[in-house]
């Protein structure tokens, strides 16, 4: 059995099955939806950072653009929700195309420029002059499309497709070429790899994932403000979760979300006075002692971690 098929069977199928069943036995539907959303976003970060080395501090820009793409289609064109979600993914890709010049930068320069770009998109959609299109800073209300149950299962479908995409990257020659670009772009280029096209492909795939997630989020909550969907928490959490578990792997970001977001909700509600301290120490400990993420514990013992 090919490795890619094994990974789908042993990682993706149980993950989707568990989150498909949980709404029937656990009452906090919003918490489950947030888990699925961050599972999607962490894998989106994994695509661009884990396989190319670009750290997207402004990743939320694609998420917010997708949410507003969904909202505009529903508000002004009465688009069916599923069609609007697909369009939201396209909006993410179009924004990614617009921002491809950022890929000429690297390291901290790229991260900061990407963050600035996301803030620019936020101020664009929140501009009072665009009230007739985006509702400006006054918030969007899509109560006619409010259907959290359908949005939740749409999110599971996107999660399945996203993890499937990462499985492909992990097990294909395309993914190996991306990792070669991450390690040494000059050597990869000399070996015949089209470095520019590879980076753009990963960048647009990552933007597509975030755009779809943003569209589904807008469908789920139906009422939101620019500051909500462009909140830096989406970027920071997705990055931290992916790094905590281990990027350039399939299971790493999943482990990171399940552990860290679980701890985040447990500590945040039960002992909020200690939340920042405990959470900060947990992340600092990872950076100092496990810079390659939790999956490195297994690889050090010679275990194979997909």
Domain enclosing residue 90, as ranges: 3-300
Q: Which of 46-60, 130-144, 207-221, 231-245 shows the highest mean pLDDT?
A: 207-221
Do strands 140-141 and 223-224 pair parallel, antiparallel, or not at all (unpaired)?
antiparallel
Q: In the chain, how long is the greatest CA-to-CA distance?
A: 59
Residue 40 in contact with residue 157, Cβ under 8 Å?
no
Q: Kindly state the tokens that stand for 297.
A: 């514990």
- Summarised one tens digit per residue, pLDDT across range 134-183 is 999 999 999 888 899 999 999 999 999 999 899 888 888 888 888 888 88
Could you tell me if residue 306 is inside a domain?
A: no
1 pLDDT above the threshold of 80: no
What confidence score (pLDDT) does residue 170 get? 83
Could you tell me if residue 160 is inside a domain?
A: yes
pLDDT-derived band of residue 280, with 50, 70 and 90 as boundaries?
confident
Q: Kindly state the tokens that stand for 266.
A: 């447990």
Compute CA distances 47 → 5, 29, 130, 144, 197, whole Å. Answer: 19, 28, 33, 34, 15
Q: Kindly state the tokens that stand for 257.
A: 């979300």
pLDDT-derived band of residue 305, with 50, 70 and 90 as boundaries?
low
Could you tell me if residue 148 is inside a domain?
A: yes
The candidate with the shortest Cα–Cα distance to 45, out of 187, 202, 169, 200, is 202
Q: Which of 25-34, 79-88, 119-128, 165-174 is the least confident region?
A: 165-174
Number of compact structural domains in the chain: 1
Could you tell me if residue 305 is inside a domain?
A: no
pLDDT mean across residues, the chain: 89
Mean pLDDT throughout 267-281? 75
296: domain CATH number is 1.10.3470
The candidate with the shortest Cα–Cα distance to 41, out of 201, 231, 238, is 238
Residues with Cβ within 8 Å of residue 248, at least 6 apart in sequence: 46, 50, 51, 170, 179, 182
Mean pLDDT throughout 111-117? 95
What is the percent of the chain where pLDDT is above 70?
Answer: 94
Could you tell me if residue 75 is inside a domain?
A: yes
Could you tell me if residue 282 is inside a domain?
A: yes
- What is the Cα–Cα distance from 30 to 23, expressed in whole angstroms? 10
What confidence score (pLDDT) does residue 285 get? 79
First vs last C-alpha separation in the chain: 15
Residue 87 in contact with residue 215, Cβ under 8 Å?
yes
- What is the Cα–Cα distance from 161 to 167, expressed in whole angstroms? 10
- What is the Cα–Cα distance from 251 to 303, expressed in whole angstroms? 13
Mean pLDDT throughout 86-94? 98
Could you tell me if residue 182 is inside a domain?
A: yes
């Amino acid at each position: 059995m090919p490795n890619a098929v094994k990974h789908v069977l042993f990682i993706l199928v149980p993950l989707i099955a568990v989150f498909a069943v949980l709404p029937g036995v656990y009452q906090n539907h919003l918490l489950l939806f947030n888990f699925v959303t961050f599972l999607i976003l962490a894998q989106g970060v994994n695509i661009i950072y884990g396989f190319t080395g670009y750290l997207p501090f402004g990743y939320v820009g694609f998420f917010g653009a997708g949410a507003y793409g969904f909202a505009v289609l529903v508000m002004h064109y009465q688009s069916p929700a599923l069609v609007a979600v697909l369009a939201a993914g396209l909006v993410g890709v179009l924004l990614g195309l617009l921002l491809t010049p950022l890929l000429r930068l690297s390291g901290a320069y790229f991260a900061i420029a990407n963050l600035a770009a996301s803030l620019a998109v936020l101020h664009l959609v929140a501009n009072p002059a665009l009230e007739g299109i985006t509702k400006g800073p006054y918030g969007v209300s899509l109560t006619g499309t409010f259907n959290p149950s359908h949005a939740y299962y749409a999110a599971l479908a996107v999660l399945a497709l996203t993890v499937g995409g990462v499985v492909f990257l992990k097990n294909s020659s395309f993914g190996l070429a991306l990792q070669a670009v991450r390690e040494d772009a000059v050597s990869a280029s000399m070996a015949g790899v089209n470095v520019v096209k590879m980076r753009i492909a990963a960048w647009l795939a990552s933007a597509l994932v975030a755009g779809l997630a943003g569209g589904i989020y807008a469908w789920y909550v139906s009422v939101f403000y620019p500051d909500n969907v462009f909140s830096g928490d989406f970027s920071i959490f997705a990055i931290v979760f992916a790094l905590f578990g281990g990027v350039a792997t399939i299971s790493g970001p999943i482990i990171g979300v399940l552990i860290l977001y679980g701890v985040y909700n447990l500590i945040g509600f039960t002992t909020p006075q200690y939340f920042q301290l405990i959470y900060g120490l947990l992340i600092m400990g990872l950076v100092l002692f496990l810079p390659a993420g939790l999956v490195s514990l297994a690889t050090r013992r010679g275990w194979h971690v997909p």
